[in-house]
Every structure is written in C-alpha cells, then in structure tokens.
C-alpha cells in the first residue's frame, strides 16, 4: 500500500457507494507535506517525459498541480470554468459536463498561455467519468500541443473515465485506484498496481 492509500484509509470518509470525502487532507483542508510527496511521486512516474507545462482545472486541482510544476521546474496553467456564452477567440474552449454536480461548464484557457509544440502533463485530484480530463485533453490538442500524460491523485476505478482515456492511448497514472467502496462499513478497496 502506498502513502496515499494509507492516508485514504486513515482519513477518507466513504459518503455513499460512489463518493469518497477526502476534504480533511486533499481538497478542502490540504496537508501540504502530503501534497509535496504527491508532486514528487508524479515527477518519478513521468520522469522520462519532456514536460514543458503542467495543466489542471480549477479549483481543487490547482494546489496539487502547483507542487508537480515545481518538481518539473515548469509553469502551471489552470483551465477556468466559465458560464459565459460570449467566449471570444482569445481562448481555447471545451465543454465539460459534471455528473456529480449535474451541470455543464465551458472551460477555457487563454491562447497566451498554451502554444503549439508544448508538452503538457495534465494533473487532477479525481478521475470519475473523465469529462474534465477529456476537456483538458481536447484543449491541449486544439492548441497543437502534446499530452505527455495524465496524473490523477484518486481514480474511481468503477467509473468509466480511466478506462476510456487509457483506451484513447494516453498514459494515465493514478496514485490510488478505488475499485469499490462501502458506506456502511467504511471499506475502501484499492486496485493492486
């Protein structure tokens, strides 16, 4: 069991059969020592990649991706969620549907901060159905940049995102993959990796 899996067992709370609360250490209050270790672990897993930029989506991804960017010594750019329908031509845009929140957001990245020929490592806290990740991938590709890989802190292996994005040919590295959870007993079962 790795450091993150241990922490999930210690401090994660299974809210229902498909929602895991990790807000005491990851996405509300943040344990910075842990996030720093997460940054080092992604650097190790993508050490052979030529990463020129780290990308994530607001809000919870930002704090994590910042430590990854520090490890690689590259800038971090985060996609912004925008309700505006008047998106101008200065941004790359993708539509992202959230099954958890049952809403749709347009996510945008300014063309000033993403260029053709860049090599992008995408980071996010959760991978569930993969909509956010697919949106980020489409933004990178529409810029003519390359997705070097996707680093996910917690993948919910019983939802379709991980399989769908690996099937598209991308390297997805998840530090913990939850294959099953039970709210009554609080049990979390991780995939052997």
d(CA 164, CA 160): 6
Site string for ligand G4P, 70-89 (x = CB under 6 A): --------------------
Interface with ligand G4P in residues 136-165 (CB under 6 A): 156, 161
Distance in Å, CB of 50 to ligand G4P, minimum: 26
Which own/partner pairs from 128-132 qualify as long-range (CB within 8 Å, at least 24 positions apart)?
A: 128/99, 128/100, 128/156, 128/159, 128/161, 129/99, 129/159, 129/160, 129/161, 130/159, 130/160, 130/161, 130/162, 130/164, 130/165, 131/96, 131/97, 131/98, 131/99, 131/161, 132/57, 132/96, 132/98, 132/107
Distance in Å, CB of 25 to ligand G4P, minimum: 11
Binders of ligand G4P: how many residues, by CB under 6 A? 22
**Per rule CB under 6 A, is residue 94 in the interface with ligand G4P?**
no
Q: Largest Cα–Cα distance of the chain, in whole Å?
A: 51
Q: DSSP letter for 156, please.
A: E
**Per rule CB under 6 A, is residue 64 in the interface with ligand G4P?**
no
**Per rule CB under 6 A, is residue 21 in the interface with ligand G4P?**
yes
**Per rule CB under 6 A, is residue 168 in the interface with ligand G4P?**
no
**Per rule CB under 6 A, is residue 108 in the interface with ligand G4P?**
no
Q: Which is nearer to ligand G4P, 102 or 112 (CB)?
A: 102
Interface with ligand G4P in residues 111-130 (CB under 6 A): 125-130
């Amino acid at each position: 069991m790795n450091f993150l899996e241990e922490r999930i067992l210690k401090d994660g709370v299974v809210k229902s059969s498909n929602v895991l609360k990790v807000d005491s250490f990851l996405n509300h209050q943040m344990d910075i020592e842990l996030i720093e270790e997460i940054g080092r672990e992604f650097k190790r897993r993508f050490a052979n990649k030529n990463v020129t930029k780290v990308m994530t989506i607001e809000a919870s991804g930002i704090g994590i991706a910042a430590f990854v960017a520090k490890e690689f010594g590259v800038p971090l750019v985060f996609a912004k969620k925008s309700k505006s329908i008047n998106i101008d031509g200065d941004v790359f845009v993708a539509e992202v549907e959230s099954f958890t929140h049952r809403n749709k957001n347009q996510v945008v990245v300014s063309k000033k901060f993403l260029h053709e020929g860049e090599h992008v490592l995408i980071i996010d806290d959760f991978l569930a159905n993969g909509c956010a990740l697919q949106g980020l991938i489409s933004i990178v590709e529409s810029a003519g940049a390359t997705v070097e890989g996707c680093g996910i802190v917690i993948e919910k292996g019983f939802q379709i995102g991980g399989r769908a994005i690996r099937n598209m040919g991308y390297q997805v590295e998840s530090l913990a993959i939850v294959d099953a959870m039970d709210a009554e007993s609080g049990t979390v079962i991780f995939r052997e990796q």
